[in-house]
Chains A and B, each alone.
Chain A
Amino acid sequence: MLKLNYMVQYVSASFDASFAAISDATRRGVLEQLGRADASISALAEKFHMTLTGMKKHVAVLEQAGLVATEKIGRVRTCRLGFRRLEEEAAWIERYREIWDARFDELDRVVEDLKRQEKTDGRKNRK
């Protein structure tokens, strides 16, 4: 009954990795940071007061989710945002939300009608 397959018009291979990736505060911070400028893993580690190994792990999770792309130039691995997936995630959730929002706007009206009706009936009963 709630099946939105017919209504949510968007598909992507798998969102799982991305949702897991952005469930962590540090990783969200990294995404935010990379949104401003590309950065090396060591610069990110420093920024977030972390060991290089710790940051490497976070970046690996983000990379697997397609949210971050990395490129090794010389001895430095530079990270940048992998926009595409993030947009898809946001769009998927937003479409889902829009459908429920539209549906609930109509439900609001039904509830208003029921309230008004009850009031009228209540007055009648008192007479």
Chain B
Amino acid sequence: MDARTESDSTPTSSRTSVERKSGREIIVRRTFDGPARLVFEAWTKPELLKRWWVPKSMGMSFLACEADVRAGGKYRFEFLHPSAPTPVAFFGKYLEVVPHSRLVWTNEESDDGAVTTVTFEEKNGKTLLVVHEVYPSKEALDANGGMENAMPETFSQLDELLVDLRSRV
């Protein structure tokens, strides 16, 4: 993993890398241009989380964002998408909080929720962020894009991608 960390810090065309480690695990990596304490702050202060957790392009709005960031503390996020009739809530609790270096939390709105570990690794003023999600089963991770939750907009994006992939073959 350390060797990988090294190679990931070199700039590439796509700055976010995703690796499906096994049926149940998925790892996301990205390096941020700032010290770990600031990146950590952005993950742990609700008013800051609200600014980036839901990218503008998704068209969803935050209704509520509560996060009691300490071991055993709870969080609750509520979103609304214009095409969804009711808000969607995500909630769970923090299992581990190590300032500026590590966050672990559960996701409890269904039995399929993941346990997520985020680590912050500072090097020369930059921070390598690794998000590691472990799902209870491979089915839970596979279903992590349930058709019933589909938004038409993203399907058209997917279609474009498929066309693109096909033309490359």
Contact = CB atoms under 8 A, between A and B. Distances in A.
A93 B21 CA distance: 12
A2 B107 contact: yes
A102 B148 CA distance: 23
Contacts of B34: 111-112, 114-115
Contact of A3 (B58, B90, B161): B90
Contacts of A52: none
Determine the interface band of chain B, counting residues with CB < 8 A from chain A. Answer: 35 or more
Given A83-B169, A96-B18, A101-B15, A6 B42 contact: no
A interface, over-half SS: helix
Interface of B: 14-18, 20, 22-23, 26, 28, 30, 32-34, 38-39, 41-42, 48, 51-58, 75, 77, 79, 88, 90-92, 105, 107, 109, 112-114, 116, 129, 131, 133, 138-139, 142-147, 149-151, 154-155, 157-158, 161-162, 165-166, 169
26 contacts: A1-B75, A2-B116, A9-B151, A9-B158, A11-B143, A12-B142, A14-B138, A14-B142, A15-B20, A15-B23, A83-B166, A83-B169, A87-B165, A91-B158, A91-B161, A93-B20, A95-B154, A96-B144, A99-B58, A100-B131, A101-B14, A104-B32, A104-B129, A106-B53, A112-B33, A115-B34
